[in-house]
Amino acid sequence: MKLVFATHNKNKLDEVKALVPSHIELVSLTDIGCFDEIPETGSTLEENAQLKADYVTENYGLPCFADDTGLLVDALNGEPGVFSARYAGEGKNADDNMNKLLTKLKDHPNRSAHFKTAIALNLNEKKYMFEGIVEGHITSQKTGGGGFGYDPIFQPKGYKKTFAEIPLETKNRISHRGLAIQKLLDFLR
């Protein structure tokens, strides 16, 4: 079965490919020749995921799933949320995003946060939604060289290391994206 994952993000694609069984051929937007910047104009993660999946299905006629992920920080009323990738501007620069967040949280006692991933699947002319959430907190500085995005400053609950320090296999098992993908894969079986 060929299934499009509506992303150009190689890190995200690699994380998901590590979880997908061999009978599913997972391809990216690049693989299908889609180089468009798909608009993410929704006000929720679920809406943005659905917009991306719909774009691929409508324009390429392929079964597709798309995700949208946000980091929601309690002390900042859920910021950056739906704007996580563009928190510090349209450049989508992870270091700038982390620096802005760390500056906003400077000296703040409440550093609790959670990552949420929403996955929209368009398959056989039907639409499905899956969700994964991981609780944790924002560290006071960046640590670790793995992962991507906010991983160097997010420490999942029950762990003493950030996502950027945790091995990929462990991260895939406990992360928001890993949990949502597992729900998607269970459904596809």
The span from the first CA to the last CA of the chain, in angstroms, equals 11
Binding-site residues from annotation:
7-12, 68-69, 148-151, 171, 176-177
Beta strands in 22-165 (DSSP E): 25-28, 64-73, 79-80, 112-123, 126-138, 154-156
What's the length of the chain?
189
Q: Supply 62's token pair.
A: 């392929």
Annotated binding site for Mg(2+): 68
Q: Which long-range contacts (CB under 8 A, 24 or more apart) does 121-127 make?
A: 121/53, 121/63, 121/64, 121/65, 121/184, 121/187, 122/53, 122/54, 122/56, 122/57, 122/63, 122/64, 122/65, 123/63, 124/63, 127/50, 127/53
The annotated binding site for substrate is made up of: 7-12, 69, 148-151, 171, 176-177
Q: Which residues are catalytic?
A: 68
Max alpha carbon distance in the chain (Å)? 51
Q: Which of 119, 156, 153, 152 is nearest to 135 (CA)?
A: 156
